[in-house]
């Protein structure tokens, strides 16, 4: 087996996969050995761009796949640290904690935040008490 490197592969099916690969020279018929290949999809929306990551083969528990050269249109080695970090984090954790938001979002007036429940309750009680006092007079 040859040296391992991170690679993006475009298959004749149109699929693009990202994987740690090595080339196995098997009796003059080279085969690509892909470890934990992932499918990346970039999604653009009004908030920016997101990367959707999923296993290339979803219904199996195998980690290593063999791909013949005649099934590949092109392949390119990548040194993109961000993509490699996403790949390694997904492979190690079956998730992408590296890019998950913490879930803690500061609420703002743009989101409709006016006051806490307690502050609103106090204001409404004061208004109610002022109205009842003015009617008694």
Number of domains the chain contains: 1
The answer to whether residue 119 is domain-embedded is no
The pLDDT, as a whole number, for residue 95 is: 55
Domain annotation covers residue 91: yes
Does 124 fall in a domain?
A: no
Establish if 45 belongs to a structural domain. yes
The CATH number given to whatever domain includes residue 43 is: 2.30.30.100
Range of the domain at 48: 5-105
In the prediction, which pLDDT does 92 show? Answer: 86
Mean pLDDT by 10 residues, the chain (137 residues): 89 94 84 92 83 87 90 93 89 61 65 83 90 70
The pLDDT of residue 33: 93
In a domain, residue 118? The reply is no
Residue 34 covered by a domain: yes
Sign of CA dihedral 55, 61, 64, 68: negative
Those residues whose C-beta lies under 8 Å from the C-beta of residue 98, and which sit 6 or more positions away, are: 85, 86, 89
């Amino acid at each position: 087996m040859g040296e391992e490197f991170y690679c993006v592969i475009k298959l004749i099916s149109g699929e693009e996969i990202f994987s740690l690969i090595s080339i196995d020279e098997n009796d003059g018929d080279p085969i690509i050995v892909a470890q934990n290949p992932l499918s990346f999809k970039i999604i653009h929306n009004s908030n920016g761009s997101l990367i959707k990551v999923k296993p290339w083969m979803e219904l199996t528990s195998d980690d290593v796949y063999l791909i013949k050269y005649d099934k590949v249109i092109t392949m390119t080695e990548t040194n993109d640290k961000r993509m490699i970090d996403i790949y390694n984090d997904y492979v190690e954790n079956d998730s992408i904690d590296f890019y998950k938001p913490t879930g803690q979002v500061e609420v703002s007036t743009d989101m409709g935040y006016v006051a806490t429940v307690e502050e609103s309750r106090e204001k409404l009680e004061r208004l109610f008490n002022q109205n009842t006092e003015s009617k008694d007079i």
